[in-house]
Amino acid sequence: GEDVEQSLFLSVREGDSSVINCTYTDSSSTYLYWYKQEPGAGLQLLTYIFSNMDMKQDQRLTVLLNKKDKHLSLRIADTQTGDSAIYFCAESGDYKLSFGAGTTVTVRA
């Protein structure tokens, strides 16, 4: 959606770190999310961060939030072929989620 922007493609070598970036416009967002979509599947919640936090780590995933710049990033350490997917950034407002266009991550050997 136009309220959430992210780059469309990212190519990364297996074993390297991936960083996916996202910017959003709604300063009242309570939560910000990263979803993963594998081919032919629905969306799966990867992780989320509350708006009063600036970092969250969960195994290979690190989420950084810069609330002043309204910038969110997802870092995947030691990227594997199974990480190839579309990654969506989303923000919550009222009852609904607003999604970015999705970043297609391709992991090459």
Partner 1 sequence: DVKVTQSSRYLVKRTGEKVFLECVQDMDHENMFWYRQDPGLGLRLIYFSYDVKMKEKGDIPEGYSVSREKKERFSLILESASTNQTSMYLCASSINTEAFFGQGTRLTVV
Query: CB-side exposure of 42: number of CA atoms within 13 Å?
Result: 2
Q: Is 99 in the site for partner 1 (CB under 8 A)?
A: yes
101 lies in the binding site for partner 1 (CB under 8 A) = yes
Cα–Cα dist 38/15, whole Å: 19
**CA 106 distance to own-chain centroid:** 15
Regarding 98 and contact with partner 1 (CB under 8 A), the answer is yes
Restricted to residues 33-72, the positions that interact with partner 1 (CB under 8 A) are: 41-45, 48
Rounded to whole angstroms, what are the CA distances from 4 to 37, 59, 98, 108? Answer: 17, 26, 7, 27
- The piece of 14-22, 59-67, 70-78, 97-105 that touches partner 1 (CB under 8 A) is 97-105
- Decide: is 79 part of the binding site for partner 1 (CB under 8 A): no
Residues interacting with partner 1, by CB under 8 A?
Answer: 1, 4, 8, 31, 41-45, 48, 88, 92, 95-102
